[in-house]
Amino acid sequence: MMMMINIYKWLQELKPVLFMIVVQFCFAGINVFYKLAAYDGMSLKVLVAYRFFFAIVFLVPLALIFERKSRPRLTWTILFQAFLCGFFGGSLTQNLYAESLVLTSATFASAMTNLIPAVTFVLAISFGLEKMGVKTRAGKAKVMGTLLGLGGAMLLTFYKGAEIKMWSTHINLMKIVKPHGGHVASSSGTQILGSLFAIANCFSFSLWLIIQAKMSANYPCPYSSTALMSVMAAIQETTFTLCTERDWTQWKLGWNIRLWSAAYAGIIVHGMMITLVIWCVRLKGPLYTSAFYPLMLVFTALMGPLLLDEYLHVGSILGATLIVCGLYAVLWGKDKEMKKMAQKISKEAETIQTINTSTSDNSENQNRGIIMDKTEEMERKV
């Protein structure tokens, strides 16, 4: 019986890790869909707008069904936080990432997202959500893990090395899409612009994690929170797209890669995966959640040989190894801090309980003494 209880506790502790691995795998899949939709000539701004529409249709019923009784009352503070989350974690970051993806490559854009843990770490310290703690082993592990992940991402991006022809499915999804031009570009000039977009995306996404941590404390409902964020992002993105995109044919969807890309981005990624991210931010904090984003680069590098008939390189293997090592270091440091904090809270609770017990005993003794004095006084009078 005790063994079953220990296994259950272990699975509960492992649940955030498994969920975040699934999240990063699905995030890697959006790189393929974005690339294919852009190759088909679809405006990325329109694709992002449809992403939020699909997310709203998927999330609102879930929020009404599962969080009808537990949802707190909406306040102006929560609405303002939702607006900021929709901007930094929705419309702005998706536009920046999609543009950087098309102007550079899927591997490069996902590699640059490995700046997110470092940026989140700095911002979390600035906002008082994390402590540096470089004098402790946990703090050193978090700093070292962040640097390892960043170094692995840079190695994977700028060093290719020899090709590793481990396997090839001979599946090239680009061949099933007819190129329409317009939204695919890759040159030395666009590479720099795409890099700037990717860096700006990291700052925007890190700010969203920080704001989401604040919002989750006041509004701990993942479905409702994601739905509210999606509504705000949809309003922002639709307004922006209508002002900048003059080609109305871009809004037409058929049974093609455009529809599948919008549905996958809205339902799977934004509807399901962002909900899991918000749940993990509320449970473990923004730094813990951002530490998993290097895995998206690993999955993206692996999807090349499987879906795009590409080959891995030595640099990809070395970079992925450093990223996983850095991820493990950050998780280890964060886990040590969480256990230390839990022990501290437990000790404080025991101390408060002891004080309350002693205070209660003293009060009972005082009341007993008063009763005895009153009784003796009554007996003397009698």
| Tens-place pLDDT, residues 325-368 | 877 787 787 777 777 777 777 777 777 777 766 655 555 555 55
Q: Is residue 88 domain-resident? A: yes
The mean pLDDT value of the chain amounts to: 77
Q: Is residue 10 domain-resident? A: no
Domain that holds residue 297: 17-356
User: How large is the angle between the packed helices 92-103 and 44-66, nearest 10 degrees?
Assistant: 140
Number of compact structural domains in the chain: 1
pLDDT digits (tens, 9 = 90+) for 283-331: 877 767 877 877 887 787 777 666 655 566 777 778 777 877 877 787 7
Q: Is residue 152 domain-resident? A: yes
Q: Is residue 257 domain-resident? A: yes
Yes or no: say if 108 and 157 are a contact pair by the CB < 8 Å rule.
yes
Residue with tokens 């550079």: 104
Q: Is residue 375 domain-resident? A: no
Q: Is residue 187 domain-resident? A: yes
Select from 107, 92, 374, 130 the least CA-distant residue to 233. 92
Q: CA geometry: angle at 113 spanning 190 and 32, to 5°?
A: 70
Q: What was the pLDDT predicted at 337?
A: 77
Q: Is residue 7 domain-resident? A: no
Predicted confidence (pLDDT) at residue 177 exceeds the cutoff of 70: no
DSSP 308: B
pLDDT digits (tens, 9 = 90+) for 213-268: 888 888 888 888 889 999 999 999 999 999 888 888 888 888 888 899 899 989 99
Q: CA of 138: how far to CAs of 50, 133, 251, in Å?
A: 42, 7, 50
Select from 366, 371, 17, 321 the least CA-distant residue to 148. 321
Q: CA of 196: how far to CAs of 8, 77, 242, 356, in Å?
A: 45, 32, 25, 58
Yes or no: say if 138 and 340 are a contact pair by the CB < 8 Å rule.
yes
Q: Is residue 300 domain-resident? A: yes
Q: What was the pLDDT predicted at 170?
A: 54
**Spatial CB neighbours of 333, under 8 Å, sequence gap ≥ 6:** 137, 138, 139, 140, 141, 142, 145
**What confidence category does residue 379 fall into, taking pLDDT thresholds of 50, 70 and 90?**
very low
